[in-house]
Chains A and B, each alone.
Chain A
């Protein structure tokens, strides 16, 4: 395209191609959805963000103060001419006694396995390795419980969430109520309520759409391995169904993310076998497959 140095005509049309204009008209005439979010929800979110910001400032301030105190105290540690540390005879300042923060009355956290919960404030807890049952009873105010874990944060407005922390991985399962998963990059995903029964069990009569929704719910709850099982079932049992193509792509991505490289390679290969056309993203998939590098044959590996 050549660069046109003439000033634009103020009345120039936004779209010149009649064919493209038809698509644009379809977008223009689409009615905007009815907005469900309320000013109360916005206010609650604003309050939560403000609390987070304050905590950040306080944390930075405390860290700076601790660093200054350490620098100040260091000469007394190093007072020996031999260079060895000597015990400080007496501390000049007694550490201020502060009561540990207590959780809000509406909040209950039960550590079923693992160490006790670290309470950071009435509406903030930190979980390390283990399994926890977290309940936030209905309350009048806009407060949201922030459950911080190595894998991200679970924000609970009200309800019960089962949280399992293993290393840097966190699985959150919403049993009742309203909660949101906040990834480390800040992306927010509302959690779907998991079925009360054994939700790992896949209904043998479930159709492809139900399986796709089930996998979505498991993913939203951070349960990648369970989602992989459901997607595997979808692409294997319903290969010709409409959701199968996206499901196979999702399955490959999830397997790759789970470091199950050989299975991811097979999933991408199966995708190309089933959907070789360019408009079906075959180019993109070929690239992804190439990036995984060579590997063993897929015989005996899923998905098939």
Chain B
């Protein structure tokens, strides 16, 4: 688990510099401190458990390769959030991944392999529906919606994580909700 102490330790300049130079121990310390957080983020953004390992690995490899560009203006966690969001954008762009999702969804929908209790199965179906619709949203709308609605960030947190003003987060989240409701056949009320 990520602990405050662990995060403080790995954000020291010495650890970051060592990791940038390819020091295995320093990289391992950063990975261990942030891996759960990045995995949760990636999972919330994609809804696909089978892709989490690959994406987490890509996020950290990209981060270690680009550590020289990390200025320390933001926290390392925020910087990793941005890298993960970019990797997830690529993931959504990948037609191959989408097709895999279609396979999974269609086999679940027809009850081909159902090894979960009824309630779990229903929740899985609901998640599948939501993520299918999320996959059709523009990246920026999807990211705002996921940060606010699924990751549970408040407006300030989402604004910092996404690097956009609060009003933009608010607008994008509402617009995403409108489009999701339309895609899912759910009534939408603009209050």
In whole angstroms, what is the CA distance A50 to B24 when docked? 14
Question: How many of chain A's residues touch chain B, expressed as a range?
Answer: 35 or more
Among B31, B122, B129, the one with the most A-chain Cβ atoms within 10 Å of its Cβ is B31
Contact of A42 among B64, B99, B103 (CB under 8 A): B64
In whole angstroms, what is the CA distance A33 to B155 when docked? 27
| Residue A70 interfacial (CB < 8 Å) | no
What's the least CB distance linking B125 to chain A, in Å?
Answer: 8
In whole angstroms, what is the CA distance A42 to B175 when docked? 37
- Number of cross-chain contacts by CB at 8 Å: 165
| Residue B43 interfacial (CB < 8 Å) | yes
List the B residue with the shortest CB-CB distance to A242. B110
Q: Which of A1-59 contact B (CB under 8 A)?
A: 1-4, 7-8, 10, 12, 14-17, 19-20, 22-24, 26-30, 32-33, 35-37, 39, 41-43, 45-47, 49-50, 53
Question: How many of chain B's residues touch chain A, expressed as a range?
Answer: 35 or more
Known: A20-B180, A30-B43. A35 touches B99 (CB 8 A): no
Binding site for B on A (CB under 8 A): 1-4, 7-8, 10, 12, 14-17, 19-20, 22-24, 26-30, 32-33, 35-37, 39, 41-43, 45-47, 49-50, 53, 187-190, 209, 212, 216, 241-243, 245-247, 249-250, 253
A-B contact pairs, 26 of them (CB 8 A): A3-B171, A7-B166, A8-B167, A14-B148, A16-B189, A17-B181, A17-B189, A19-B186, A20-B180, A20-B186, A23-B126, A26-B126, A26-B130, A27-B126, A28-B150, A29-B123, A32-B43, A33-B39, A37-B57, A39-B32, A42-B57, A42-B60, A46-B64, A187-B94, A242-B109, A243-B112
